[in-house]
């Protein structure tokens, strides 16, 4: 009876401490990997954007089996090596979104890409646009942030990408 009480007490203590832990929060800038290439990039976690965005150059729309597709170049500086990485991708267009900006209305293709953030792989919709004048080549929007958890605007680089 005594051993059982000790076991129950220990179990309750562990459960209580697990419940008391705060959820993981991410910084407003994190380093992640663009998959399948594994190139490391700085990603801005932007609660003001609904959809994530990826720096894409030479965007060409085409049809494959009657469905809309897009070919684009990913041109980013690897955050680990500092080397310029150029990789061509072809993806099916999931949808097109109209974005209103300072230059007027713009149609952007949206594709599915995979990224690694922390120790988890996420499949996410990304609008494609030339972000070469932006500091961060990848912007993560609220659709993904709702899955990730809280963002702490006072912190950066809280996790290291480690997806196997």
Question: Containing domain of residue 64, as a range?
Answer: 25-156
Could you tell me which of 138, 132, 133 has the C-alpha nearest to residue 161? 138
d(CA 86, CA 131): 14
Note the pTM of the prediction, 2 decimals.
Answer: 0.80
Give me the number of domains the chain comprises.
1
3-state SS assignment for residue 96: strand
Q: Which distant-in-sequence residues (6+ apart) come within 8 Å of 125 by Cβ?
A: 51, 52, 94, 95, 110, 111, 112, 143
Q: What is the DSSP letter of 44?
A: E
Radius of gyration of the chain (CA): 20
Kindly report the CATH number assigned to the domain that includes residue 132: 2.40.70.10
Give domain status of residue 8, yes or no: no
Task: Look at the alpha carbons of 29, 102, 74, 85 in this order and tell me if their dihedral is positive or negative.
Answer: negative
What is the mean predicted confidence (pLDDT) over 57-77?
97
Half-sphere exposure of 42 toward its Cβ, with a 13 Å CA cutoff? 14
Question: What pLDDT, on the 0 to 100 scale, is given for residue 14?
Answer: 43
CA 150 to chain CA centroid, Å, is 14
Give domain status of residue 13, yes or no: no
**11-25, 51-65, 91-105: segment of lowest average pLDDT:** 11-25
Q: What is the DSSP letter of 4?
A: H
User: What is the largest distance, in Å, between two alpha-carbon atoms of the chain?
Assistant: 75
What digits encode the pLDDT tens for the residues 46-64? 999 999 999 999 999 999 9
Could you tell me which of 73, 96, 75, 99 has the C-alpha nearest to residue 85? 75
Give domain status of residue 15, yes or no: no
What digits encode the pLDDT tens for the residues 124-164? 999 999 999 999 999 999 999 999 989 999 999 999 999 97
Question: What pLDDT, on the 0 to 100 scale, is given for residue 1?
Answer: 53
Q: Give the Cβ contact number of residue 139 at 10 Å.
A: 21
What digits encode the pLDDT tens for the residues 19-31? 434 347 899 999 9
d(CA 108, CA 145): 21
């Amino acid at each position: 009876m005594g051993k059982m009480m000790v076991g129950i007490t220990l179990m309750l203590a562990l459960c209580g401490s697990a419940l008391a832990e705060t959820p993981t929060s991410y910084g407003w800038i994190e380093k992640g990997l663009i998959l399948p290439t594994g190139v490391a990039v700085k990603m801005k976690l932007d609660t003001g954007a609904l959809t994530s965005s990826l720096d894409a150059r030479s965007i060409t729309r085409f049809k494959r089996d009657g469905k809309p597709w897009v070919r684009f170049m990913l041109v980013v500086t690897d955050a680990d090596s500092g080397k310029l990485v150029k990789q061509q991708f072809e993806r099916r267009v999931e949808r097109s979104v109209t974005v209103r900006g300072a230059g007027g209305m713009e149609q952007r293709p949206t594709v599915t890409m995979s990224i690694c953030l922390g120790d988890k792989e996420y499949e996410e919709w990304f609008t494609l646009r030339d972000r070469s004048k932006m500091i961060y080549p990848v912007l993560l929007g609220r659709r993904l942030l709702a899955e990730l958890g809280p963002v702490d605007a006072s912190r950066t680089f809280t996790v290291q990408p480690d997806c196997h």
